[in-house]
């Protein structure tokens, strides 16, 4: 016959080791993703605001810049 100890009946309020490791790896990944999205959005806004001279200098047309700047930040 197996007996349960009183310790196993107490709910754990602290995360287990596995949950803690998951939390430590997921949160930085979410922050990196958010930072990447913000950078893409800012770069596309900057591209949208370039004049014809600068667009020619980097080798893209106004239409290419318009299409790129219209893309959603998550792409």
Judge whether 18 lies within some domain.
no
Domain that holds residue 69: 31-75
* 46 band by pLDDT with thresholds 50, 70 and 90: very high
Task: For residue range 6-22, list pLDDT tens digits in order.
Answer: 555 555 666 666 666 67
Task: Tell me if 52 is assigned to some domain.
Answer: yes
Q: What is the pTM of this model?
A: 0.63
70 assigned to some structural domain: yes
Is 10 inside any structural domain? Answer: no
pLDDT of residue 55: 96
Tell me, yes or no, whether 38 lies in a domain.
Answer: yes
In a domain, 36, yes or no: yes
Q: Per residue, what are the HEC states of the chain?
A: CCCCCHHHHCCCCCCCHHHHHHHHHHHHHHHHHHHHHHHHHHHHHHHHCCCHHHHHHHCCCHHHHHHHHHCCCCC
In a domain, 23, yes or no: no
| Number of structural domains the chain divides into | 1
């Amino acid at each position: 016959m197996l007996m349960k100890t009183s310790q196993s009946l107490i709910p754990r309020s602290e995360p287990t080791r596995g949950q803690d490791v998951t939390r430590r790896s997921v949160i930085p990944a979410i922050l990196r993703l958010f930072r990447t999205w913000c950078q893409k959005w800012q770069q596309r806004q900057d591209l949208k605001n370039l004049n014809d001279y600068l667009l020619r200098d980097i080798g893209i047309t106004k239409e290419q810049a318009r299409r790129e700047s219209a893309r959603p930040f998550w792409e």
